[in-house]
Amino acid sequence: VVSPKIAPSMLSSDFANLAAEAKRMVDLGADWLHMDIMDGHFVPNLTIGAPVIESLRKHTSAYLDCHLMVTNPMDYVEQMGKAGASGFTFHVEVAKENWQELVSKIKSAGMRPGVALKPGTPVEEVYPLVEGETPVEMVLVMTVEPGFGGQKFMPSMMDKVRALRQKYPTLDIEVDGGLGPSTIEAAAEAGANCIVAGSSVFGAPEPGKVISLLRTSVEK
Ligand code: DX5
Ligand code: ZN
C-alpha cells in the first residue's frame, strides 16, 4: 500500500547547477526531490527559499518535497504554493497552536501537507495532526538534528517510525538524515517508505546504484 519514494536531498547537490542536478537525479530514478528550506533561526543554517523553488520548477516537473526548517511556516505557505512546491512539510515544534489552520492553508495552496519532528520531540506530538479533520499526509521523522547534511544516523529514532507504522498502516513515513546503504535496512524494517538521502547519494561514485539500493530495501 505504501510505495517507496526515494528523495535525494538537493542540499548536497551543486546549487550553482541545480536544474542539471535535479534532472540527473530524476534520470537516475529519484521519485521526489527533497528541498531543504532553512531560515537561520529554527536551525543554525541558511539555504534556499521560494525564489529558488520557483526557478527550479521551470526546469522540472518532479515532485518537490519541501522541508521547511523555519520558525514561521505560515509566512511561507502562499509563496511556496505559487512557486510550485509539491509537498510542504513544517515542524511540529513551531506549530503547536495553529496547525489546523496551517494544514488547511497548505491544502488550499495546492500542496501536500506533512509534519516533521526533531530527534528530541516525542512522537505522540504528531498523532493529533495525523488524526485531525484536515490531516497531514506525511510524517517526517528526523534522524539527525536538522540543519546540516552529512551527519550520523540516529538508530534510536526507529522507535518513532515503528510506533507510527503500527498505528497508521498506509501513512507516508519519511526519514531524513544519515540515510544510505548502511542505515537503510534499519529504516525500512521499522516501516519508513519515503527515504531522504543527501550525502550518500551525491557522494557516491554511482548515485543511481544507491537510489536503486534504497528502493529495493524499502520494497522487500
Ligand atoms: C538536514 C536536512 C536533510 C539533509 C540530509 O537538516 O533536513 O535533508 O540534507 O542530508 P544527509 O542525507 O547527508 O544526512
Ligand atoms: Zn530535510
How many whole angstroms separate alpha carbon 201 and alpha carbon 90?
Answer: 24
Atom of ligand 1 nearest to the CA of 38: 6
- Segment 102-110 mean pLDDT: 98
Ligand index nearest the alpha carbon of residue 11 = 1
Confidence band for 121, pLDDT divided at 50, 70 and 90: very high
Neighbour order of strands in the sheet with 87-91: 5-8, 194-197, 172-176, 138-142, 112-117, 87-91, 63-69, 32-38
Q: Which pLDDT belongs to residue 181?
A: 98
Q: Which pLDDT belongs to residue 193?
A: 98
Q: Which pLDDT belongs to residue 81?
A: 99
Q: Which pLDDT belongs to residue 161?
A: 98
Kindly report, residue by residue over 154-211, the tens digit of the pLDDT: 999 999 999 999 999 999 999 999 999 999 999 999 999 999 999 999 999 999 999 9
Ligand 1 and 65: CB distance under 6 A: no
Ligand 1 and 176: CB distance under 6 A: yes
Kindly report, residue by residue over 45-92, the tens digit of the pLDDT: 999 999 999 999 999 999 999 999 999 999 999 999 999 999 999 999
φ and ψ at residue 63, rounded to 5 degrees? -70, 120
| Architecture field, domain 5-219 | Alpha-Beta Barrel (3.20)
Q: Which pLDDT belongs to residue 46?
A: 98
* Mean residue pLDDT across the chain: 98
Atom of ligand 1 nearest to the CA of 43: 6
Q: Which of 69, 148, 179 to mutate to test the pocket of ligand 1 (most atoms within 8 A of CB)?
A: 148
Q: Which pLDDT belongs to residue 57?
A: 98
34 CA → ligand 1 middle, Å: 9
> Is the pTM here over 0.90, yes or no?
yes
107 CA → ligand 1 middle, Å: 25
* Residue 192 cell numbers, joined: 519508513
How many whole angstroms separate alpha carbon 157 and alpha carbon 130?
Answer: 19
% of the chain at pLDDT higher than 70: 100
Find all residues with CB under 8 Å of 206, minimum gap 6, and list them.
Answer: none
Ligand 1 and 180: CB distance under 6 A: no
% of the chain at pLDDT higher than 90: 98
Q: Which pLDDT belongs to residue 154?
A: 98
- Segment 14-31 mean pLDDT: 98
152 phi-psi bin (left φ>0, alpha ψ -120 to 50, beta other):
beta
Kindly report, residue by residue over 130-147, the tens digit of the pLDDT: 998 999 999 999 999 999
Is 8:25 a contact under the CB 8 Å cutoff? yes
Known catalytic residues are 36, 176
Q: Which pLDDT belongs to residue 1?
A: 65
Ligand index nearest the alpha carbon of residue 67 = 2
Ligand 1 and 181: CB distance under 6 A: no
